[in-house]
């Protein structure tokens, strides 16, 4: 049986392509960089759009990369049912190319977030992940614009079509405590912040001689709460609708996610929870490639 | 050769205005002079024919140069920052009155930032010797060998003044500049660290500066795909008008890939690669110039360059590809003074000449004058020397990556730095013709006056015994009191968790970050991710400097900066290999300031020699003042150490309940300069903690060896906040409590919060304790066995007892959330 050969698309400004190539090879796969001007993708068993800042992402993330020469071929490839994985900027490009629904906007608190994020595997049609629903994986997120949104019918369709593959969650798998939707979100956001600030106030108050610090922080308390009530979304992650971290298309062959599984494969840089993301697809890829 | 390269804007600007302190007029009068010459150049034929051809002694004898009117030239020289004596020197070097372009070039090359005229003699105290040093100071970055043929390039640089005006772009372009210094050497950038200083966060402007600088670093570094893995930040009133943004970058290469910016081979092409050239930073030369910041600082915003990290990412890839293919004869980046310093240094290092046509430079603005093109500080540009037959390959690679390149000149054998403007009529194209060697290396050297500042005696001799007798700390054994004092320290912006900062930095890209930010030192696996070999070797890096200590005692303070950096490495199991430095001081022309500079360099160089640690690169940033007040002397050091096996590192976090906790070293009643003193008494005073260089080495060696031997579960050095804070941080990081008793006879505040040096808190499995204690006894290192890890509280017998985590019902806060949430709460206040 021929080895599974992953193509990893490189746009100007991609910066995680080498990490993906390394992770794939570490797991025993063949992996080849594919320059964004390539138009023949048939020889690859699966394609990965890696993370980074394609074309600097000075416009909407992925909006320029979507028009790279490689994308026309990639869209044909995806529509033929062949496997495509978009990680972070790759996910953004897939939504721009309308291979996946929804959009990824600025994080709720408008700050870039790089941290380990627990994500829960949902029951889905995704061909890239073959883990029991409810499994919690620790995979780093690293983005400024990973706040998933879509309209209500789309969200309903994603849920009913079992297209939501991953959701951000608490370490034990429970829904994120204070990142929900609608009015609850705003209310929770407020209490969350007040709690935080109160602790600092408590700390400051606890000691005599720090009156200055105390009033400073106390002052902050009300203002921050105010701001939080008005404009801030989820706290645990990026404010994503329904805590969505990754979705697939109806057929399950195109999968986009914000977390970076390639960063946690070899156990040196923080675990091995990323490995399953690159394994389950192999048999499907071979099947659809007729190997 | 300059031993250090200088701050991109800070000192450059400063020196340009030395003669006209604080004046915004200087910019405009320089402009007037320029405009005057605009007219001249409009009539360039007549003007040049009439003057200037008075024997430049160059290879271009036939090309008359349009020199300035002698009176005007002397005036412009002063406006540009040259002293009258320096101007005379220029005339002597040229053998005639200079042209306007020449005058601009001299004023920049002989400015403090390019020439180190104030600091050069002091910097000679540093030693850059070491078997593993492949490149010391004098290049874009220093390079050391780290084993198995791997080499690491690193350097730290300041971008203080631009950031004080426009924090986002100032900090972003600071990162961009230091990264270029690294890949110029042939190394792939693998990590950034940042050493930051701001005023206190109760001031809205300080929050704006801090938030903006962090966002700028995040924006630029994240886009490049270079992880930001560590750093430090302090908030202190002294930095209010003059924040410090020091960025350090580290690059990795194979030893044989080391490239130097040495021009060679007459006839070879000089090629400019990257962004187009605009007027950015030209105003910067004069308007960022004030020796001190004042009310007018805000008006200087337009002079700050804007970074384009996408362009830089492409530059990294195209340059590293061409370097690997052996196509570059030399490569240098365009930093301070732009094309001028890059080209003249490249020529002087190679003992060759260089001949540049400014019209071949791709310009982003119209009607740029030759001097503007030569001194522009547009970002994201590189200067390369290539053999003529290789130019097509350069053009092809650049086109493929979407990067502009242009053939702008030639290497010559004349030793002259010639600038021509081919738009001028034939025979009159040359606008500058200078000896490259003299230009780069013959700037004056000064011995600034020194005077011991009077404040030193006043602050050092303050008797701090009241700290132990005033109400705050009278009740020995009052648990509530010390619990509150500890909690307040853990919430202090100078101590609390920095996660709010590094969460905004991509600290993992390249898949080699073994120890995440927040630890004593960052640890990186050595490996060429995706492209080549991965190894089990690693490097560790840290940046350190406690400005308070340096203010109270610049000599010992600078030594402590080094000692703490080394200690941080020891805690993760790394052996120090070399340092870079970023020396941030006030105005060197003030004798008191220069005294502190001299003392800090003396202290640092003495300690470096004691430990045999070379200083392989660095940067001096003078004129860090606002409204006449200098910042605390802040000689930040960036240290890199080596790790033979990355599977044997440890971190500060307690790992296992039941582990024994040992304090390596001994606590003394040293409250001087402590965070405790500042936070609870509002004072920065007293004698700084003593530093015994030999004890420090013994402590570090024992801990580092024990980490490498797998004896220790955790190791964390005692720094700001003292022992109690170090212990609490190990508890918080590991989410494990501790129960200990202190056996010293010190007043409780000292035993908990004194910042005595040479101390490390370790934890280890009971069965390993004996081996470790033997190791300590062998080196005669003092220690105390204190207690053990476990539970959900931090209990220090008879002194304090605090919960680690919040009560489920919210009735009390644990130290963990206080520590972790304090910074965000303070930054977010409106």
| Chain A interface includes B314 (CB < 8 A) | yes
From residue A255, how far is each of A50, A85, A157, B269 by CA, in Å? 12, 5, 16, 49
Closest residue in chain B to residue A197, using alpha carbons only: B825
The rounded distance, in Å, linking the Cα atoms of A96 and A108 is 20
Supply B316's token pair: 């990294």
The rounded distance, in Å, linking the Cα atoms of B82 and B708 is 55
| Chain B interface includes A22 (CB < 8 A) | yes
| Chain B interface includes A30 (CB < 8 A) | no
Beta-carbon pairs below 8 A across chains A and B: 177
Enzyme catalytic residues of B:
113, 159
The rounded distance, in Å, linking the Cα atoms of B179 and B641 is 20
Chain A residues 179-198 with a CB less than 8 Å from chain B: 193, 195-198
> Which chain A positions have a beta carbon within 8 Å of B396's beta carbon?
none
Residue spans of the domains in chain B: they are: 10-118+260-441, 140-259+497-615+628-648, 474-489+651-827
CB contact under 8 A, B223 and A207: no
Please give the helix or strand (H or E) that residue B285 lies within, else none: helix B282-287
pLDDT along chain B (830 residues), means of 10: 40 33 32 32 30 37 73 89 91 92 90 84 91 91 95 96 92 96 96 97 96 97 97 96 97 94 92 92 49 53 78 97 94 89 91 95 91 91 96 97 96 95 91 91 88 95 89 54 92 96 96 92 96 95 97 98 98 97 96 97 97 95 91 98 96 97 97 95 95 98 98 98 98 97 93 97 98 97 97 95 93 93 90
Two domains, one topology: B10-118+260-441 and B140-259+497-615+628-648: no
| Chain A interface includes B509 (CB < 8 A) | yes
Pairing of strands A244-248, A254-257: antiparallel
Per residue, the 3-state secondary structure of B340-406, as one string, reads HHHHHHHHHHHCCEEEEEHHHCCECCCCCCHHHHHHCCCCCEEEEEECHHHHHHHHHHHHHHCCCEE
Q: Best residue in A15, A142, A274 to probe B by mutation, most B CBs within 10 Å?
A: A15
Sign of CA dihedral A71, A77, A79, A85: negative
The rounded distance, in Å, linking the Cα atoms of B277 and B252 is 29
> Which chain A positions have a beta carbon within 8 Å of B310's beta carbon?
12-13, 53, 55-58
CB contact under 8 A, A114 and B508: yes
CB contact under 8 A, A203 and B488: yes
CB contact under 8 A, B825 and A196: yes
| Chain B interface includes A114 (CB < 8 A) | yes
Tell me which DSSP letter residue B166 carries.
S
- What pLDDT is stored for residue B514 in this prediction? 95
CB contact under 8 A, B223 and A202: no
| Nearest of A28, A23, A89 to residue A271 by alpha carbon | A23
- What pLDDT is stored for residue B457 in this prediction? 95
Task: Check: CB of residue B378 under 8 Å from CB of residue B337.
Answer: no
Supply B678's token pair: 């500042």
Out of B225, B310, B680, whose CB is closest to A210? B680
What lies within 8 Å, CB to CB, of B221 at 6+ separation is B175, B192, B227, B228, B309, B505, B506
> Which chain B positions have a beta carbon within 8 Å of A204's beta carbon?
488, 491
CB contact under 8 A, B490 and A203: yes
Per residue, the 3-state secondary structure of B22-58, as one string, reads CCCHHHHHHHHHHHHHHHHHHCHHHHHHHCCCCCCCC
- What pLDDT is stored for residue B302 in this prediction? 55
Chain B residues 610-649 with a CB less than 8 Å from chain A: 646
CB contact under 8 A, B310 and A55: yes
From residue B356, how far is each of A53, B282, B408, B635 by CA, in Å? 35, 19, 6, 38
Closest residue in chain A to residue B200, using alpha carbons only: A213
- What pLDDT is stored for residue A215 in this prediction? 38
- What pLDDT is stored for residue B18 in this prediction? 31
Judged on CB neighbours under 10 Å (0-12, 13-18, 19+), B129 is exposed
Say whether B259 sits in a helix, a strand or coil: coil
- What pLDDT is stored for residue B93 in this prediction? 92
Out of B224, B308, B488, whose CB is closest to A206? B488
Enzyme catalytic residues of A:
88, 260, 262
CB contact under 8 A, B503 and A114: yes
Closest residue in chain A to residue B403, using alpha carbons only: A12
pLDDT tens-place string over residues A165-186: 999 999 888 888 654 343 333 3
CB contact under 8 A, B511 and A217: no
CB contact under 8 A, A203 and B310: no
The rounded distance, in Å, linking the Cα atoms of A43 and A46 is 9
- What pLDDT is stored for residue A3 in this prediction? 66
- What pLDDT is stored for residue A2 in this prediction? 53
| Nearest of B338, B351, B415 to residue B108 by alpha carbon | B338
Out of B219, B471, B511, whose CB is closest to A19? B511
CATH number belonging to domain B474-489+651-827? 3.90.650.10
Domain spanning B10-118+260-441: which CATH class is it, in words?
alpha beta
Out of B513, B530, B826, whose CB is closest to A21? B530
> Which chain B positions have a beta carbon within 8 Å of A16's beta carbon?
225, 509
| Chain A interface includes B225 (CB < 8 A) | yes
Task: Check: CB of residue A225 under 8 Å from CB of residue A216.
Answer: no
Residue ranges, chain A, pLDDT below 70: 1-3, 177-236, 291
Q: What's domain B140-259+497-615+628-648's architecture? A: 2-Layer Sandwich (3.30)
Half-sphere exposure (Cβ direction) of B461: Cα atoms closer than 13 Å: 5
Task: Check: CB of residue B720 under 8 Å from CB of residue B777.
Answer: no
The whole-angstrom distance between B708's CA and the closest CA on chain A is: 17
Supply B280's token pair: 């950015």
């Amino acid at each position: 049986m021929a080895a599974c050969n992953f193509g990893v698309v490189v746009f100007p400004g991609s910066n995680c392509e080498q990490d993906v190539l390394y992770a794939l090879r570490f797991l025993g796969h063949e992996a080849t960089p594919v320059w964004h001007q390539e138009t023949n993708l048939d020889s690859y068993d699966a394609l990965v759009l890696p993370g980074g800042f394609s074309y600097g992402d000075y416009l909407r993330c992925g909006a320029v990369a979507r028009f790279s020469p490689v994308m026309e071929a990639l869209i044909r490839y995806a529509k033929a049912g062949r496997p495509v994985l978009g990680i972070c900027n790759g996910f953004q490009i897939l939504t721009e190319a309308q291979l996946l629904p929804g959009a990824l906007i600025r994080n709720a608190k408008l700050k870039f977030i790089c941290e380990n994020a627990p994500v829960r595997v949902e029951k889905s049609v995704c061909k890239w992940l073959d883990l029991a629903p409810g499994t919690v994986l620790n995979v780093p997120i690293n983005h400024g614009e990973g706040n998933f949104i879509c309209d209500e019918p789309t969200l309903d369709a994603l849920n009913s079509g079992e297209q939501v593959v991953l959701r951000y969650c608490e370490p034990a798998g429970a829904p994120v405590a204070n990142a929900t939707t609608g009015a609850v979100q705003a209310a929770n956001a407020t209490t969350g912040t007040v709690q935080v600030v109160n602790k600092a106030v408590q700390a400051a108050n606890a000691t005599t001689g720090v009156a200055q610090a105390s009033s400073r922080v106390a002052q902050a308390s009300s203002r921050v709460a105010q701001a939080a009530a008005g404009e801030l979304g989820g706290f645990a992650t990026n404010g994503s609708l329904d805590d969505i971290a990754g979705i697939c298309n109806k057929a399950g062959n195109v999968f986009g996610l914000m977390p970076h599984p390639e960063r946690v494969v070899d156990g040196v840089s923080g675990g091995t929870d990323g490995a399953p993301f690159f394994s389950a697809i192999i048999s499907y890829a071979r099947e659809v490639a007729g190997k | 050769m300059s031993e250090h390269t200088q701050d991109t804007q800070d000192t450059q600007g400063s020196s340009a205005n030395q003669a006209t302190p604080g004046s915004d007029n200087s910019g405009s009068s320089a402009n007037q002079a320029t405009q005057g010459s605009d007219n001249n150049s409009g009539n360039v034929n007549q003007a040049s024919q009439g003057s200037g051809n008075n024997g430049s002694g160059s290879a271009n004898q036939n090309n008359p140069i349009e020199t300035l009117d002698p009176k005007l030239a002397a005036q412009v020289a002063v406006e540009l920052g040259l002293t009258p004596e320096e101007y005379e020197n220029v005339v002597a070097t040229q053998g005639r009155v200079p042209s306007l372009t020449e005058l601009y070039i001299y004023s920049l090359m002989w400015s403090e930032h390019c020439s180190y005229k104030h600091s050069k003699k002091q910097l000679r105290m540093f030693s850059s010797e070491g078997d593993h040093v492949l490149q010391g100071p004098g290049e874009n970055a220093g390079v050391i060998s780290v084993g198995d043929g791997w080499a690491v390039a690193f350097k730290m640089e300041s971008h203080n003044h631009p950031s004080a005006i426009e924090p986002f772009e100032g900090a972003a372009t600071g990162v961009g500049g230091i990264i270029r210094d690294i890949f110029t050497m042939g190394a792939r950038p693998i990590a950034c660290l940042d050493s930051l200083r701001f005023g206190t966060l109760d001031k809205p402007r300080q929050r704006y500066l801090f938030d903006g600088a962090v966002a700028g670093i995040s924006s630029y570094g994240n886009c490049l795909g270079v992880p930001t893995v560590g750093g430090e930040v302090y908030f202190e009133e002294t930095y209010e008008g003059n924040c410090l943004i020091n960025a350090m970058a580290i690059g990795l290469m194979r030893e044989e890939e080391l490239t130097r910016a040495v021009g060679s081979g007459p006839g070879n092409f000089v090629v400019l690669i990257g962004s187009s050239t605009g007027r950015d930073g030209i105003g910067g030369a004069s308007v960022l110039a004030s020796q001190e910041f004042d009310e007018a600082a805000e008006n200087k915003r337009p002079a700050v360059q804007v970074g384009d990290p996408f362009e830089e990412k492409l530059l990294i890839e195209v340059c590293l590809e061409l370097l690997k293919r052996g196509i570059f004869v030399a490569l240098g980046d365009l930093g301070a003074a732009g094309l001028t310093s890059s080209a003249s240094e490249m020529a002087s290092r190679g003992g060759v000449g260089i001949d540049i046509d400014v019209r071949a430079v791709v310009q982003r603005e119209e009607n740029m004058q030759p001097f503007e093109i030569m001194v522009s500080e547009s970002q994201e540009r590189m200067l390369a020397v290539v053999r003529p037959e290789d130019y097509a390959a350069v053009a092809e690679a650049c086109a493929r990556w979407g990067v502009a390149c242009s053939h702008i000149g030639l290497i010559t054998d004349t030793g002259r730095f010639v600038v021509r403007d081919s738009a001028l009529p034939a025979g009159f194209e040359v606008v500058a013709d200078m000896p490259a060697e003299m230009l780069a290396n013959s700037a004056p050297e000064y011995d600034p006056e020194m005077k011991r500042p009077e404040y030193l005696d006043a602050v050092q001799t303050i008797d701090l015994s009241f700290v132990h007798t005033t109400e705050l700390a009278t009740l020995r054994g009052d648990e509530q009191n010390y619990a509150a004092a500890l909690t307040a320290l853990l919430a202090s912006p100078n101590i609390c968790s920095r996660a709010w900062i590094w969460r905004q930095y991509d600290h993992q890209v390249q898949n080699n970050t073994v120890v995440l930010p927040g630890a004593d030192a960052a640890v990186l696996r050595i490996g060429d991710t995706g492209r080549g070999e991965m190894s089990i070797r690693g490097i560790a890096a840290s940046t350190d400097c406690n400005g308070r200590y340096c203010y109270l005692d610049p000599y010992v303070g600078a030594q402590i900066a080094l000692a703490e950096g080394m200690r941080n490495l020891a805690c993760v199991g790394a052996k120090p290999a070399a340092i870079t430095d970023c020396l941030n001081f006030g105005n060197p022309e003030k004798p008191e300031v220069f005294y502190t500079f001299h003392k800090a360099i003396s202290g640092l160089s003495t300690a470096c020699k004691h430990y045999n640690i070379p200083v392989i690169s660095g940067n001096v940033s003078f004129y860090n003042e606002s409204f006449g007040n200098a910042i605390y002397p802040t000689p930040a050091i960036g240290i890199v150490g080596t790790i033979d096996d990355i599977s044997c590192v440890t971190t500060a976090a307690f790992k296992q309940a039941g582990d024994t906790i040992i304090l390596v070293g001994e606590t003394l009643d040293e409250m001087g300069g402590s965070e405790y003193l500042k936070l609870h008494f509002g004072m920065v005073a007293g004698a700084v903690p003593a530093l015994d260089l030999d004890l420090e080495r013994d402590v570090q060696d024992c801990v580092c060896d024990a980490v490498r031997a797998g004896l220790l579960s955790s190791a964390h050095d005692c720094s700001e906040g003292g022992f109690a804070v170090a212990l609490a941080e190990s508890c918080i990081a590991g989410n494990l409590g501790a129960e200990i008793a202190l056996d010293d006879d010190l007043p409780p505040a000292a035993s908990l919060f004194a910042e005595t040096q040479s101390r490390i808190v370790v934890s280890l499995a009971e069965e390993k304790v004996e081996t470790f204690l033997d190791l300590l006894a062998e080196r005669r290192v003092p220690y105390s066995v204190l207690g053990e890890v476990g539970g959900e509280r931090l209990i220090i017998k008879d002194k304090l007892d605090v919960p680690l985590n919040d009560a489920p019902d919210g009735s009390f806060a644990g130290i963990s959330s206080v520590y972790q949430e304090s910074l965000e709460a303070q930054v977010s206040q409106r």
